[in-house]
Copies of this chain bind each other. A is one copy, B any other.
Amino acid sequence: MTELVSSGYKGRARELLEQGGATVGSLVKVKGVDGAETSGLVVPRYEHADPEHVVLKLKSGYNIGISVENIQSISVVEKSPTVSTFGQVSAILQQAHGRPKGKTSDKKLLLISTGGTIASRVDYRTGAVHPALSAEDLYSAVPELGDLAEIFPEVVFSVYSENLTPSDWQTLSNSILAKSRELEQKKKGRADGVVVMLGTDTLAYVSAALSFSLNGFDLPVVCVGAQRSSDRPSSDAALNLKAAARFAVSSGTEGVFVAMHESENDDVIAIHSGVRVRKNHTSRRDAFESIDVSYEAHVIGNEIKMRAQDVIPVGDSSTKSEADLAERFRLKTSFNPSVALIKFHPGFDPMVLDYYTRRDKPVKGFVIEGTGLGHVSSATVREIGRLSKEGVFIGITSQCIWGHVHLDVYETGRDLIEAGAVPLENMLAETAFAKLSWALGNFEPEQVKEVMLTDIAGEFTQRIALVGRRNS
């Protein structure tokens, strides 16, 4: 019974499982004290989880925890020797239970996997989570996807998202375009949308990067992640993925979006703009929030509800013709890795900027998160002035997260402007970093400032004088 111990079951839950001869991975029938029966696969417990529940993976793909108080007995329906992936779990469940064949949709979805929790499994030896599931695995684990669209899965990476670099964003952008073309050329027909499965840690950086590199792409691209891995109780993977797929094939939009839980409940999935979203909580399922704007849409069950257009994104684009915008910024997929994102802090050492510009591959541009309206210390202003003269781009955002930078209110700000720093309105720091890498990757150095200040993907929201607004 060491499997049960190592998989986190203790106390009464462990006793009940042992009495029934069940181990992790067994297909069991749980008889409740009220006589009701529930069938499912025994899922390992997270090591810090409370010991008073037995967790089953149901046929639907959802996991439920059943309190030991409500369990009369547990009996084994089928004992499987090792179960290590959600996909395998699901395959076994499908085999055991059969699955009603839904009508196949005539929509086509390109499903890209890069790694991350949504495509992860738990290492039952250590309890840690590994990126290991392929898009196929996950597709087979969420069979309802087949009712939404014909799925064309592709694995581009299988890494933790904290290891993805701007160069990987380029690979990812090109892969999405190539796979989409390939699908069309093979006469399988045109895809209706793209879903990209990502780790949530850097999902907002990647969604911002794709928003620029895939500008002009005529399909919606929906980035999606999960805060709890697929084989854990209360995973948000299946619901997020289904909503992302539904929005991708049925919304009739273009652009890059992020689909994640709107609240801790399993009902509403929020669709955010890829350039205005941020991971604002380490662990909650509703960790992602739109900043200074509303969400773009809600997916509730089978329904897509687009939000009312109460916020009009503006920027320099108002002075550009649509054609000009479309042409100059269309499907430029290069990213320059010679960029850095710096958070200013009290006592910040400005010579770190100097280090960056003197290293082997010198940094060509910085995004600096200033304090408040975008301020940095006087010593940092001087260093910025020096580097700016050498042609290094320095964009200013705020570590406040919400609101606009304004460098015309205080002396420090005016000095910063004079030193050559470029205030980036209310562009999120993460978005500004991705955009700068893209701008330096596709345009001449002297064009970078203008590119950074042009609203390409809705990265600026309406400027509201000194009084900002929070997310409604």
Q: Which of A183-234 contact B (CB under 8 A)?
A: 199-202, 205-206, 228
A409: Cβ under 8 A from any B Cβ: yes
Closest to A200 in B: B372
A342: Cβ under 8 A from any B Cβ: yes
Q: A369, A373, A433, A467 — which one has the most chain B CB atoms within 10 A of its CB?
A: A467
Q: Which of A248-275 contact B (CB under 8 A)?
A: 264
Which of B163, B339, B347 contacts A339, CB < 8 Å?
B347
A237: Cβ under 8 A from any B Cβ: no
A454: Cβ under 8 A from any B Cβ: no
Quote the shortest CB–CB distance from A258 to chain B (angstroms): 15
* A70 and B380 alpha carbons, distance in the complex (Å): 47
* A406 and B340 alpha carbons, distance in the complex (Å): 26
Per DSSP, are chain A's interface residues mostly helix, strand or loop, or mixed? loop
Q: A157-195 vs B: 1/0 string, CB under 8 Å?
A: 000111111110100000000000000000000000000
A384: Cβ under 8 A from any B Cβ: no
Quote the shortest CB–CB distance from A307 to chain B (angstroms): 22
* A284 and B342 alpha carbons, distance in the complex (Å): 24
Q: A373-B283, A405-B282 are in contact. Are A128 and B414 (CB under 8 A)?
A: yes
* A282 and B161 alpha carbons, distance in the complex (Å): 29
Closest to A376 in B: B162
Q: Chain copies in the assembly?
A: 2
Q: A163, A206, A282, A466 — which one has the most chain B CB atoms within 10 A of its CB?
A: A282
Query: Chain B contacts of A53 at CB under 8 A?
Result: none
Query: Chain B contacts of A443 at CB under 8 A?
Result: none
Which of B128, B280, B378, B470 contacts A402, CB < 8 Å?
B280
* A101 and B189 alpha carbons, distance in the complex (Å): 84
A389: Cβ under 8 A from any B Cβ: no
Q: A402-413 vs B: 1/0 string, CB under 8 Å?
A: 111110111111
Q: Are A374 and B337 in contact (CB under 8 A)?
A: no
* A398 and B202 alpha carbons, distance in the complex (Å): 12
Other A-B pairs, 12, CB within 8 Å; known A162-B376, A162-B412, A345-B430: A126-B414, A128-B414, A279-B372, A280-B402, A281-B400, A282-B398, A283-B373, A283-B404, A284-B470, A287-B403, A343-B343, A352-B355
